[in-house]
Amino acid sequence: MRPQIVSCALVAALASSLLCGPADAQTPRAILVFAGASLTEAFDEIGTAFTKKTGVPVTFHYAGADALATQIEAGAPADVFASANEKQLKMVAAAGLLAGPSAVFARNAILLITPKHDAAVTRIADLAKPDVKVVLEAPSVPDGMYARMAFGMLSGHDGYPSDFPAAVEKNVSSDEMDITAVTTKVALGEADAGVVFTTSMTPSVAGQLNAIPFPVQPDVEYPIAAVKNDHPVPAAQAFVDFVLSPAGQAILRRHGFAAP
C-alpha cells in the first residue's frame, strides 16, 4: 500500500478550507476540481466562464493524475476529477468513488522539447545517444506513460534500433511527478530534452523551447467525472456538463486540445 502522509495532509488542509462552509449561507460552496497539470491554463479559463454563468465558484488542485487519484482514494474532498489518462480515473471508479458517469472531453498529443539554444538533440533518435540528459514524467504519470509507449512504437521501425526504449531509459536523469516540472527543467537548460503534451507549449515557455513532433502518437484521452465525497455538491455534475458543452469545448480548442 502506498504511503498516504502527503495525501492525508492535503485532506486536512482542503477539508478545513472548503468544507466548513462560507459565512454567508447564500453563497454556494466552491466546487473543488482535481485536474491534471496539463489542463491548468484551459481549466482556469473554463472555471471563470462556469462561475460567470452559474455563480458557483471553482477551486482547482492541479498535479499529476497519478497523485490526484491517490489523494482522492485517501479521502481528499474532490468534487470533480479530470485526468489526462483513463487509467487513473478507472482507479477512482474501481474504488467506488465516482458520483456520475465518466466521459472523454479532450484529446492531446506528445512532442519532444529541447532548450532553444542547445543542439544536443535535434531529432527523436538522438534521445538514445550516449550522455544525453533526458527528463520525463514518471512511468505512472500520464505523459511519462505516453512517452514510453511512443518509444516502444518506434522500436525496430524506420531505422530505430530494437533496444531504443531501453537506450532512452538509460539517459533519463529524472522522473518528474507532473508535466510542469518537465517543461521547466528543459526550459532552464537542466536537461537536453523532455517529452510533454503539445498543449504544454504555452506562450510563457514557447520562446525558450524547440518542439519536435513524434512520428507516431499514442491515443491520449482526457476523461472527467463527478466524485463522491461526504459533502456532495449538485453543481459538480454541472461543471462536468459545462466542460462537455460547446462553450467548454471552445475553450479547450483555444488551448490546443483536440476534440474527444
Count the neighbouring beta carbons within 10 Å of the beta carbon of residue 221.
18
The ranges of the chain with pLDDT < 50 are 1-9, 11-13, 15-24
Sort strands 220-226 and 80-82 into parallel, antiparallel or unpaired.
Answer: antiparallel
Segment 136-188, tens digit of pLDDT: 999 999 999 999 999 999 999 888 999 999 999 999 999 999 899 999 999 99
Cell numbers linked to 153: 512504437
Strand partners, 26: none
Confidence (pLDDT) at 26: 64
Confidence (pLDDT) at 69: 96
Three-state SS for 197-259 is EHHHCCHHHHCCEEEEECCCCCCEEEEEEEECCCCCCCHHHHHHHHHHCHHHHHHHHHCCCEC
CA dihedral 4, 7, 13, 14 (to 10 degrees): -140
Residues 6 or more apart whose Cβ sits within 8 Å of residue 92:
69, 72, 73, 81, 98, 225, 227
Q: Where are the alpha helices (DSSP H) in 19-61?
A: 40-54
Cell numbers linked to 222: 482526457
Query: Which domains, ranges and CATH numbers included, belong to the chain?
Result: 5-107+221-254 (3.40.190.10), 110-213 (3.40.190.10)
Residues 6 or more apart whose Cβ sits within 8 Å of residue 241:
none
The pTM for the full model equals 0.84
